[in-house]
Structure 1
Amino acid sequence: MQAQAVLKEKFGYDHFREGQADVIESLLAGTNVLAIMPTGGGKSLCYQIPALMLPGLTLVVSPLISLMKDQVDALNENGIPATFINSTLTQGEVQERFNQAARGEVKLLYVSPERLDSDYFLADLAELTIDLIAVDEAHCISQWGHDFRPSYLRLTDTIKSMRQQPTIVALTATATSQVADDIMLRLGIQHEVKTGFSRENLAFQVVKNQNSDRYLIDYLKVNKQKSGIIYASTRKEVERLTKLIEKAKLAVTMYHGGLNEMVRRQNQEDFLYDRKPIMVATNAFGMGIDKSNVRFVVHAQIPGSLEAYYQEAGRAGRDGLPSEAILLFKVNDVQIQHFFIDQSEMDDENKQREYAKLQEMTQYANTQQCLQQYIVNYFDDDCEKCGRCSNCLDTRESQDITIDVQKVLSCIKRMDERFGKVMVAQVLTGSKNQKIMQFRFDELPTYGLMRGDSQKEVSGLIDYLVASGYLRASGGQYPVLQITLAGVKVLKGQEKVSRKMAAKVQKTLPEDNELFERLRELRRDLAEEQGVPPFVIFSDKTLYSMCEIMPTSLTEMLDVKGVGENKLEKYGELFLDILVAE
Structure 2
Amino acid sequence: MMDAALQALKQYFGYDRFRTGQDQIISRILNGQDTVGIMPTGGGKSLCYQIPALLFPGVTLVISPLISLMKDQVDALKDVGIQATFINSSLTFSETNERLSAAAQGIYKLVYIAPERLEVSGFVRILEHMHVSLVAIDEAHCISQWGHDFRPSYRAIPAMIDRFARRPAVVALTATATPRVTTDIRKLFGIEAEGVVATGFARDNLNFQVVRGQSADVFLLDYLRKNRDQPGIVYAATRKEVDRLYARLTQQGLAVGRYHAGLSEKERAASQEQFLYDDLTVLVATNAFGMGINKSNVRFVIHYNMPRNIEAYYQEAGRAGRDGEKSDCILLFAPQDIRLQKFFIDQSDMDETLKQAEYHKLEQMIGYCHTETCLQAYILRYFGERNPSGCGHCGNCLDTREKTDVTVNAQKVLSCVKRLRERYGKIMVAKVLAGASEQKLRSLHLDRLPTYGIMKEQTQKQIGEFIDFLTAEQYLVQQGGAYPVLALAERSLPVLKGEARVLKKGHIRAERLAVDDALFEVLKQVRKTLAQKEFVPPYIIFSDQSLREMSARLPATDHDFLMIKGVGQQKLEKYGHAFMQAIAGYQAEQKNAVN
* TM-score band, normalised by shorter chain: over 0.9
Partner Cα separation in structure 1 for residue 383 and residue 310 of structure 2: 9
- Map Cα deviations across residues 13-65 of structure 1 (whole Å, 9 max, x no partner): 00110000100000000100101001000000000000000001100000111
Identity %: 53
Partner Cα separation in structure 1 for residue 476 and residue 46 of structure 2: 48
TM-superposed deviation, 1:387? 0.7
The one of 301, 306, 316 equivalent to 1:302 is: 306
TM-superposed deviation, 1:148? 0.6
1:511 is aligned to 515
In 2 relative to 1, CA 475–33 (structure 1 residues): closer, same or farther, beyond 3 Å? farther
- Map Cα deviations across residues 204-223 of structure 1 (whole Å, 9 max, x no partner): 01011111111111101111
Partner Cα separation in structure 2 for residue 79 and residue 340 of structure 1: 46
Aligned residue identity for 1:248: Q
Counting only pairs closer than 5 Å after superposition, residues 490-505 of structure 1 correspond to structure 2 as 490-505=495-510
Partner Cα separation in structure 1 for residue 220 and residue 486 of structure 2: 28
Counting only pairs closer than 5 Å after superposition, residues 409-448 of structure 1 correspond to structure 2 as 409-448=414-453
Tell me the SS of whatever aligns to 2:17. Answer: coil
2:30 is aligned to 28
TM-superposed deviation, 1:421? 2.1
- Map Cα deviations across residues 106-145 of structure 1 (whole Å, 9 max, x no partner): 0000011111111121111111110100000001000110
Partner Cα separation in structure 2 for residue 162 and residue 90 of structure 1: 26
In 2 relative to 1, CA 203–67 (structure 1 residues): closer, same or farther, beyond 3 Å? same
1:541 is aligned to 545
Partner Cα separation in structure 2 for residue 123 and residue 163 of structure 1: 12
Counting only pairs closer than 5 Å after superposition, residues 107-146 of structure 1 correspond to structure 2 as 107-146=109-148
Greater shift after overlay, 451-460 or 439-448?
A: 451-460
**Residue 289, structure 1, aligned to residue 302, structure 2:** no
* Native 8 Å contact 2:531 2:538 kept in 1: yes
RMSD: 1.2
1:399 is aligned to 404
Partner Cα separation in structure 2 for residue 247 and residue 83 of structure 1: 41
**Residue 313, structure 1, aligned to residue 322, structure 2:** no
Aligned residue identity for 2:186: M
Aligned residue identity for 1:84: F
Counting only pairs closer than 5 Å after superposition, residues 32-47 of structure 1 correspond to structure 2 as 32-47=34-49
TM-superposed deviation, 1:243? 1.2
* Native 8 Å contact 2:301 2:317 kept in 1: yes
- Map Cα deviations across residues 372-421 of structure 1 (whole Å, 9 max, x no partner): 00000110114221111110011111010111011011111111122222
Aligned residue identity for 2:458: D
Aligned residue identity for 1:62: S
Partner Cα separation in structure 2 for residue 181 and residue 101 of structure 1: 33
Counting only pairs closer than 5 Å after superposition, residues 80-479 of structure 1 correspond to structure 2 as 80-190=82-192, 191-382=195-386, 383-479=388-484
TM-superposed deviation, 1:434? 4.2
Partner Cα separation in structure 2 for residue 485 and residue 192 of structure 1: 44
TM-superposed deviation, 1:268? 0.4
2:590 is aligned to none
Partner Cα separation in structure 1 for residue 490 and residue 123 of structure 2: 62
Aligned residue identity for 2:495: V
Aligned residue identity for 1:160: D
1:74 is aligned to 76
Greater shift after overlay, 100-109 or 491-500?
A: 491-500
TM-superposed deviation, 1:162? 1.7
- Map Cα deviations across residues 214-256 of structure 1 (whole Å, 9 max, x no partner): 1111101111210000000011110111111111111111100
Tell me the SS of whatever aligns to 2:299. Answer: strand
Aligned residue identity for 1:543: L
* Native 8 Å contact 1:232 1:299 kept in 2: yes
TM-superposed deviation, 1:491? 1.0
* Native 8 Å contact 2:138 2:173 kept in 1: yes
Aligned residue identity for 2:183: D
Partner Cα separation in structure 2 for residue 472 and residue 284 of structure 1: 30
Tell me the SS of whatever aligns to 1:175. Answer: coil
Partner Cα separation in structure 2 for residue 294 and residue 99 of structure 1: 37
Tell me the SS of whatever aligns to 1:473. Answer: strand
Partner Cα separation in structure 1 for residue 375 and residue 491 of structure 2: 25
Aligned residue identity for 2:573: E
Aligned residue identity for 1:224: R
For structure 2, the residue ranges without an aligned partner over 5 or more in a row are: 588-595
Aligned residue identity for 2:520: F
1:52 is aligned to 54
TM-score, normalising length from structure 2? 0.96
Tell me the SS of whatever aligns to 1:294. Answer: coil
Partner Cα separation in structure 2 for residue 232 and residue 455 of structure 1: 26
Aligned residue identity for 1:135: I
Aligned residue identity for 1:121: F
1:483 is aligned to 488
Aligned residue identity for 2:533: E
Partner Cα separation in structure 1 for residue 524 and residue 472 of structure 2: 44
Partner Cα separation in structure 2 for residue 482 and residue 529 of structure 1: 60
TM-superposed deviation, 1:548? 1.7
In 2 relative to 1, CA 456–344 (structure 1 residues): closer, same or farther, beyond 3 Å? farther
Number of residue equivalences:
581
Tell me the SS of whatever aligns to 1:486. Answer: helix
* Native 8 Å contact 1:51 1:57 kept in 2: yes
Partner Cα separation in structure 1 for residue 27 and residue 516 of structure 2: 39
Tell me the SS of whatever aligns to 2:177. Answer: coil
Tell me the SS of whatever aligns to 2:45. Answer: coil
TM-superposed deviation, 1:475? 4.4
Tell me the SS of whatever aligns to 1:198. Answer: coil
Partner Cα separation in structure 2 for residue 520 and residue 256 of structure 1: 29
Partner Cα separation in structure 2 for residue 431 and residue 19 of structure 1: 63
TM-superposed deviation, 1:90? 0.3
TM-superposed deviation, 1:432? 3.3
Partner Cα separation in structure 2 for residue 475 and residue 56 of structure 1: 60
- Map Cα deviations across residues 299-336 of structure 1 (whole Å, 9 max, x no partner): 01111111000000000000000000000011012211
TM-superposed deviation, 1:433? 4.0
Partner Cα separation in structure 1 for residue 484 and residue 120 of structure 2: 48
* Native 8 Å contact 2:135 2:171 kept in 1: yes
Partner Cα separation in structure 2 for residue 232 and residue 151 of structure 1: 28
Aligned residue identity for 1:371: L
* Native 8 Å contact 1:168 1:189 kept in 2: no
Partner Cα separation in structure 2 for residue 246 and residue 70 of structure 1: 28
